[in-house]
C-alpha cells in the first residue's frame, strides 16, 4: 500500500467492526481490485487461462477452508494464529535471503 489513502483503511478506521467482519470487508474490496487487474492482464494476452482456472479453484477451496476455521476461533486465537503465520513467513524469507547471499 503506497502513500495514497486506501478505502480499506477508511472503512475499518471510522467504523470498527469485530475482527472477523473486518477481514471480510478487506477481502471484498481486494477482490474488486484483483478482478480489474486480471481483466487488464487478460486483455493483453498475459493470462494462461487453464492455469488461472486451476489456481482460482484451489484458492476458492483454500479460502472456504480458512474462513470455516477462522469463524470457529475466538478473536485472540485468530490473532495468535495470524502472528505465528507472519513470523514463520518472515523466518522463511530471511533464511532464503541468507542462503542466496551465501551466508548459510
Q: What is the pLDDT of residues 26-71, one digit of tens each?
A: 666 677 788 888 889 899 999 898 998 999 899 999 989 998 998 8
17 pLDDT more than 60: no
Question: The domain containing residue 82 runs over which residues?
Answer: 75-104
104 pLDDT more than 50: yes
Cα 50 to Cα 5, 36, 47: the distances in Å are 35, 19, 9
Write out the three cell numbers for 21.
467482519
Query: Which stretches within the chain are classed as H helix?
Result: 7-14, 19-43, 49-70, 75-101
- Whether 9 and 28 map to the same domain: the answer is yes
- Whether 7 and 48 map to the same domain: the answer is yes
Q: What's the average model confidence in pLDDT over 12-38?
A: 65
pTM of the predicted structure, to 2 decimals: 0.54
- Whether 16 and 64 map to the same domain: the answer is yes
- Whether 28 and 63 map to the same domain: the answer is yes
Number of separate domains in the chain: 2
Amino acid at each position: 500500500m503506497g502513500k495514497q489513502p486506501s478505502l480499506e483503511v477508511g472503512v475499518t478506521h471510522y467504523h470498527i467492526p469485530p475482527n472477523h467482519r473486518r477481514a471480510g470487508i478487506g477481502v471484498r474490496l481486494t477482490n474488486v481490485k484483483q478482478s480489474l487487474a486480471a481483466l487488464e492482464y487478460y486483455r493483453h494476452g498475459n493470462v494462461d487461462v487453464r492455469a488461472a482456472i486451476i489456481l482460482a479453484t484451489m484458492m476458492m477451496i483454500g479460502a472456504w477452508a480458512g474462513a470455516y476455521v477462522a469463524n470457529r476461533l475466538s478473536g485472540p486465537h485468530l490473532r495468535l494464529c495470524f502472528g505465528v503465520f507472519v513470523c514463520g513467513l518472515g523466518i522463511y524469507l530471511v533464511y532464503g535471503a541468507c542462503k542466496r547471499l551465501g551466508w548459510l
